[in-house]
Structure 1
Amino acid sequence: MSEGSDRKLIFIFTGPDGSGRKTVADSVGTTLGISKVISYATRRPRPGEANGQDYHFITQELYEQLDRTGDFIESVVINGNRYGLRGKDIEQSLRQGGSIYLILNPEGAHLLKELYGDQVVRLFIYADRRTVQERQQEAGIDADIVRSNMGQYETAIAYQQHCEHAFENYDLAHTVFDISNTLENYLQRNLVERD
């Protein structure tokens, strides 16, 4: 019998913009009862996004104040907006709820892997170029941002080889099912004896 119920793992969902990583991550998190750690962003919410659910949407001034005091372990500028992740949010969530999940771009996923080592499991979510472009357009994302994201597509796809797992995302239910089963192997919550 294996004892894994107290494992405090950091599951990072990454991949190209438009791959569906957010939808997949939130569905898997809900299915498995894993807490989400939310990043901070200086941009306005996009259609369908909610403050405190997708990002903590904050002012540029507040972001700069947090950045100056060293609150962010990751801070990036994407399409003129700033995004940051607070180390104390990760630590607090791990203490309170065990394993956690985050949704990050490949650079953020790489940084957390360097900081937390084997505690981090990266899940690369992807779809072909045309599909991710169509998804962003259907979501009502500004055409200039879609163009910029598509300019980063090949770089994002190349990160797949560094991740512990990769999942094609064309059928949401199938993808969520596969990932949930994969993560249950890490969480080892069913404590079943295997021969």
Structure 2
Amino acid sequence: MYEFNDREKIIVFTGPDGSGRKSVAEAVGQTFGMAKVVSYATRSQRPGEVNGQDYHFVTHATYEEMEMQGEFLESVTIDGHYYGIRGLDVEEHLDLRGCVYLILNREGAEILKKVYGEKVVRLFVYADRRTVEERQRRLGIDPDTITARLGHYDSEMAYRASCEHAFENYDLGQTTYEITNTLEAYLQRNLVDKD
């Protein structure tokens, strides 16, 4: 098992699809100079997604081989697709930067919390159902995918009470600022002006 030092943290951004968690995570990650750990997925790339940046898109056969080799810390199946995080990716990024972030659904967030305990800080980012649906439509996501994602909305929202912090996201700048202030207490990077 990986040996953490006092300052090392795994920051998990979670919440419903369309909540803006990816935009918030990337802004906060850049502010703190955190490395992003990219998950593996067997589904097809969606418009605007970049392989190696949003997910490592792999075939079912490749994913199953990696899983048989014990490479994944967590592996979940959602709507018939596999998603997983390689333990080696987490540990290598922690060694380099001392802090990493991930964007995960509730299953992935919960598994990481069980594996790494207090070193994991879960940040729940959310918006109301109508806003989430509108954001996904504006991104050009196909209606069937939006319907499938909204089918998970209530179960994702129920996870909010389990997370260390929750942030309503209607303004990217404001939400990023609030999360940066919150993480400053954990990371002690002296990025926030207290005056």
Question: Normalising by structure 2, what TM-score?
Answer: 0.92
Shift of 1:86: 0.7
Distance 1:142 1:79, change over 3 A: farther
Instruction: Calculate the aligned-residue CA RMSD, in Å.
Output: 1.8
Question: What pairs up with 1:174-185 in 2 under 5 angstroms?
Answer: 174-185=174-185
Preserved CA contact (<8 Å) 1:79 1:145: no
Shift of 1:151: 1.2
- Secondary structure of the equivalent of 1:121? strand
Deviations 1:138-190, CA, capped at 9 Å, x for gaps: 21222222111111111110100011100000000111111111111111123
Supply the distance in 1 between the matched residues of 2:190 and 2:139 (Cα, whole angstroms): 38
- Secondary structure of the equivalent of 1:190? coil
* 1:16 aligned partner: 16
Deviations 1:23-45, CA, capped at 9 Å, x for gaps: 11011101111111000011222
Preserved CA contact (<8 Å) 2:72 2:84: yes
Deviations 1:82-113, CA, capped at 9 Å, x for gaps: 11111111111111110110000011101111
* Structure 1 position 71 matched with structure 2 position 64: no
Preserved CA contact (<8 Å) 2:32 2:189: no
Supply the distance in 2 between the matched residues of 1:169 and 1:64 (Cα, whole angstroms): 36
- Secondary structure of the equivalent of 1:83? strand
Percent identical: 60
Distance 1:146 1:155, change over 3 A: same
Supply the distance in 2 between the matched residues of 1:36 and 1:191 (Cα, whole angstroms): 19
Preserved CA contact (<8 Å) 1:10 1:99: yes
Higher RCO (C-alpha under 8 Å, 6+ residues apart): 1
Distance 1:138 1:116, change over 3 A: same
Shift of 1:191: 9.9
Supply the distance in 2 between the matched residues of 1:23 and 1:190 (Cα, whole angstroms): 23
Runs of 4+ residues over 4 Å off in structure 1? none
Question: Normalising by structure 1, what TM-score?
Answer: 0.92
Shift of 1:6: 5.9
Paired positions, count? 189
- Report the AA paired with residue 49 of structure 2: E
Shift of 1:79: 2.1
User: What stretches of structure 1 of length at least 5 have no aligned partner?
Assistant: none
- Report the AA paired with residue 76 of structure 2: V
